[in-house]
Amino acid sequence: MNTTTMYCTIASPIGELLLTSDGESVTGLYMQNQKREAKQTKEWKRDDAALKQSRAELEAYFTGELREFKLPLAAEGTPFQQRVWRALCDIPYGETISYGELARRIGQPTASRAVGLANGQNPISIVVPCHRVIGANGSLTGYGGGLERKRWLLAHESKGSLI
């Protein structure tokens, strides 16, 4: 089992991003000063070349050329969190849903609070689009990267056509 975490940093319109990988799949995407930060250890190794495709897709997303990521993902979480994160990936680019709707989509209509907690634990922000989940009344609710970043991401995706 590979215990080395490869990483790189990426400049973006919402600040520097930290991207992590196990060598095959993306394991994390973190923003500066977000609530849930990466825990770097001595087993981490900077490897921009190994993360070239991931960097390219993120850069294409930020320039408006990419709407759907094709990256292999390997987020660590409970089975419930995994279900929520998979469902997040089914929310189309430029659309939003409520926590209640997300709970319904995973077959647990009374679990909107638990869905919200799982959403907040998503370690692969942007690629697993937790920013697309909003309050039942349409309000922007919590976001680990901050509401300004959530607002920016939603505005970016609402611009419409691809370049």
Q: What is the DSSP string of 128-147?
A: S-GGGEE-TTS-----TT-H
Centroid of chain to Cα 9? 15
Is there a contact between 62 and 31 (Cβ–Cβ < 8 Å)? no
Q: Is 67 among the domain residues?
A: no
Shared-domain flag, residues 84 and 123: yes
Give tens-digit pLDDT for 92-102.
999 999 999 99
Q: Is 42 among the domain residues?
A: yes
Range(s) of the domain holding residue 142: 79-157
Shared-domain flag, residues 112 and 147: yes
Shared-domain flag, residues 113 and 47: no
Domain total of the chain: 2
Residues in the chain, total? 163
For the beta carbon of residue 157, count every other beta carbon within 10 angstroms. Answer: 19
What CATH number does the domain containing 134 carry?
1.10.10.10
What are the residue numbers of the active site? 130
> Which H or E element spans position 21?
strand 17-21
Shared-domain flag, residues 37 and 88: no
Shared-domain flag, residues 104 and 135: yes
Mean pLDDT check: name the lowest of 21-30, 119-128, 135-144: 135-144
Give tens-digit pLDDT for 17-76.
999 999 999 999 999 877 677 777 788 899 999 899 999 999 999 999 999 999 999 999
Residue type for position 115:
V
Q: Is 91 among the domain residues?
A: yes
